[in-house]
Each structure stands twice: as C-alpha cells, then as structure tokens.
C-alpha cells in the first residue's frame, strides 16, 4: 500500500487459523433456525462469490440477525476479540467461520486491517458489515452484479470509480426511526472492495487511544484509485438504548481527543470538493476553529440539517452530538494539560 498513514500489514494468509467449533454450535443451529431467510427476494444461499468480514466482540444480541441477512454470500467470516458471551457459538451455528484477533499493546494494527491481511479469503471481493448492520435484498442483488461482472458501470467516472471498490450508503435506525436529518444521512463508507487493494488508513500516530480494537473513524483507501458508488442502502441498528450510545461515544471522544492532540490526519485528506469522507473532515477541521462548538453542533444538526423533522429521536441525537463535541474538547484539553505537566 502507498501512503505514510496506511498500516503495513503482512501478506494475506499469514498465521490466521479458524476457531475450533464450539460445543454448543450444533445445538444452537435449531434454536436460531439457521436456514430461515428474512423477508424479501434474496440471491440463493451461498451463491454470491464475495467474502463477508464481520468484526465482533460480545455481540450475542445482534450477530444472528446480522448473519441471517448474509446467507447469500459465498463466505462469511466473523473476527472476534475474545467474546465472553455466546457470540462465537451463535456465529458458527449460523454457518460463519470465526477467527480470534488479539490487539497489540500499541493498538495497531486494528481488527479489520489484520483480518484483511491475514485471513485466507476464498473470494477476490470482500464486504465489511458490523454486527448491528443489516444488508437489504436489493443491496445483496446489487453486490451480486458487481462481483460477477454484471454490474452496469456508470458513465460518470466519479461515480464509477476504479472498479475495485464501492461506497455504500447507510441508514441509521435510532429509537425505532430512520434518522433522515441531523447530518446522519447520507452516510457513505467504502465497504465493498477487492481485498488485495484496500486497507484502512491509520489516523494520527497515537497508540492505544481507548477507542477499542476495531476501526471506527478510519476509512478504506484503495491503492488503485477512487471507489465508485452503489445505489442501495444498508441498515444500521447501532444503539438499542441510550446507555449503549453513551458507552460507545465515550470511547469515540477519547479517539477524537487523541487525534486532536496528535495533530494527525489520515490518508484521506480534508477537502471540501473531495469524497464524502473528505468533505466531512474538511467541515470538522474548519469547525474546530469556532467558539461554542457544542452549541453550534446542535444548531447544525437540528436546524441546518433538519433534525427537527425527525421528531423526538432527532432532538435527542442532536443533543447527544452536542455532548460529543463538548467531551471531545474537554478530553483534548485534559491530554494537553497532562502532556505539558509531564
């Protein structure tokens, strides 16, 4: 991979061994009804030549329905971080291979990059889906067309990209409602790409940022050029309750603080006229210079990005994002004070 902020990773297939089958996996197959499909018109089971990477840790509540929406994929691989619940057994019951990931003391590489480099993937294309995300039948069919060479390439080279990867759009479902405003939609991420040419960037030079062992704010960079765009969305059921939102974003604000303190950017630079991620980073960098950022973040999401139209869930999430800005700044100042006093 090119670029100073990309993680150097070993060659594909080095040292990754699947987890032995859990003693409860066979029994759980009947309990979860592993062959039942969600509603909709899906490609045939295991018919699409794509490998799916699902990073997890203690995802017992989500993993079954996530994998149920992936039965059309030719290979489904779960990358676990020593879960304490039934995540491994349930994943195997649903037909997935499970690998264990152990993060180093330095915090790098993180889970997805390690898996991309070390799992012996069966297929050229990889789709990355989190345990709290669901692929739709329409998106599954669109992915089938891409990986089989049947997808009609867009005449616009910006939307078509290099042909080696695609941006996928995500709908956030929060408090039982699709959040259309608040700055949460559209939400583009490169999730489908040829695994040999894509890796997640490394943002900053900090080691353990207390943000977990999985890439969250980092994004995929393709060595062969820009990604194209698919038409259909997938669904993100990220926060079953407010406790989980606060718990996750407490970790994410630590990452934000470390990034601000280190002054590091990723391979994808801030640019007003760049990709969706580059535009978001330009807005974030520009907004960091403004006073009263938490208040402005609420006004931006609730008024300018029309979160007010999302009802009470829109109001709640805009208030929470104002808290996110406040905590990021406060933690950054805390890190700065500790560095100056050491």
Structure tokens at 169: 């759009």
Q: Looking at the structure, tell me whether residues 201 and 335 fall in a common domain.
A: no
| CATH code: domain of residue 204 | 3.90.550
**Does residue 12 sit within a domain?**
no
Sign of CA dihedral 142, 48, 19, 24: positive
Q: Which residue has the tokens 């994004």?
A: 219
- Same domain for 72 and 191, yes or no, is yes
* Count of all residues that appear for the chain in the document: 342
3 lies in some domain: no
Out of 184, 210, 239, a domain closes at 239
* Final residue in a domain of this structure, among 239, 271, 299: 239
- Residue 12 has a pLDDT of 40
| DSSP secondary structure letter of residue 201 | B
Task: Please tell me the number of Cα atoms within 13 Å of 146 on its side-chain side.
Answer: 33
Alpha-helical (H) ranges within 44-85 are 63-68
Encoded tokens for 195? 């695994």
- Mean pLDDT is lowest, of 45-54, 71-80, 132-141, 146-155, for 146-155
pLDDT for 218: 84
On whether residue 5 sits in a domain, the answer given is no
pTM, entire model = 0.87
How distant, in Å, are the alpha carbons of 28, 169, 238 from that of 262? 46, 30, 28
Count of H helices and E strands in the chain? 10, 11
Beta strands in 19-156 (DSSP E): 48-56, 73-80, 97-100, 125-128, 133-134
Chain CA centroid to CA 337, Å: 32
In the chain, % of residues over pLDDT 90: 68
What local confidence, expressed as pLDDT, does residue 288 receive? 67
Q: How many CA atoms lie within 13 A of 104 on its CB side?
A: 7
Domain boundary among 183, 209, 239: 239
What is each CA distance from 271 to 120, 216, 227, 229, 260, in whole angstroms?
Answer: 36, 20, 16, 19, 18
263 found inside a domain = yes
Rounded to the nearest 10 degrees, the angle between the axes of helix 242-262 and helix 311-341 is 40
In whole angstroms, give the CA distance from residue 103 to residue 57. 13
For residue 210, give its domain range: 25-239
What is the domain count for the chain?
2
18-65 pLDDT, tens digit per residue, is 999 999 999 999 999 999 999 999 999 999 999 999 999 999 999 999
What the block records as the tokens of 173 is 């479902």
DSSP state of 70: T
> Which of 64, 77, 6, 66 is closest to 32 using CA atoms?
64
Question: Does 250 have pLDDT greater than 90?
Answer: yes
Cβ burial 47-75 (10 Å sphere, 16+ → b, else e): ebebbbbbbbbbbbebbbbbbbbbbbbbb
**Percent above pLDDT 70 for the chain:** 85
């Amino acid at each position: 991979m090119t670029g100073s902020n990309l993680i150097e990773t070993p060659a594909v297939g080095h040292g990754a061994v699947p987890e032995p089958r859990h003693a409860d996996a066979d029994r759980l197959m009947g309990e979860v009804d592993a062959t039942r499909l969600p509603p909709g018109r899906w490609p045939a089971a295991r018919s699409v030549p794509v490998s799916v990477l699902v990073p997890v840790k203690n995802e017992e509540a989500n993993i079954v329905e996530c994998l149920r929406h992936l039965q059309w994929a030719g290979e489904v691989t779960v990358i676990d971080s020593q879960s304490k619940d039934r995540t491994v057994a349930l994943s195997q019951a649903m037909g997935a291979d499970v690998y264990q990931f152990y993060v180093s003391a330095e915090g790098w590489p993180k889970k997805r990059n390690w898996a991309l480099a070390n799992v012996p993937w069966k297929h050229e294309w990889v789709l990355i889906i989190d345990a709290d995300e669901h692929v739709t039948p329409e998106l599954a069919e669109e992915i089938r067309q891409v990986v089989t060479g049947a997808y009609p390439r867009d005449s616009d080279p910006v939307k078509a990209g290099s042909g080696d990867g695609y941006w996928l759009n995500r709908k956030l479902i929060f408090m039982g409602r699709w959040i259309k405003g608040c700055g949460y939609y559209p939400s583009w991420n490169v999730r489908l790409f040829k695994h040999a040419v894509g890796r997640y960037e490394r943002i900053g030079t900090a080691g353990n940022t207390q943000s977990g062992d999985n890439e969250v704010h980092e994004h995929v960079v393709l060595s062969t050029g820009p990604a194209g765009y698919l038409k259909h969305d997938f669904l993100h059921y990220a926060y079953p309750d407010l406790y989980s939102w606060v718990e996750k974003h407490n970790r994410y604000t630590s990452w934000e603080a470390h990034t601000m303190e280190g002054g590091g950017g990723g391979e994808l630079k801030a640019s007003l006229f760049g990709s969706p991620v580059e535009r978001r980073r330009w807005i974030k960098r520009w907004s960091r210079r403004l006073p009263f950022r938490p208040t402005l973040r609420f006004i931006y999401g609730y008024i300018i990005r029309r979160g007010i139209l999302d009802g009470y869930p829109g109001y709640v999430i805009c208030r929470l994002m104002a808290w996110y800005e406040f905590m990021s700044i406060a933690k950054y100042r805390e890190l700065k004070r500790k560095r100056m006093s050491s």
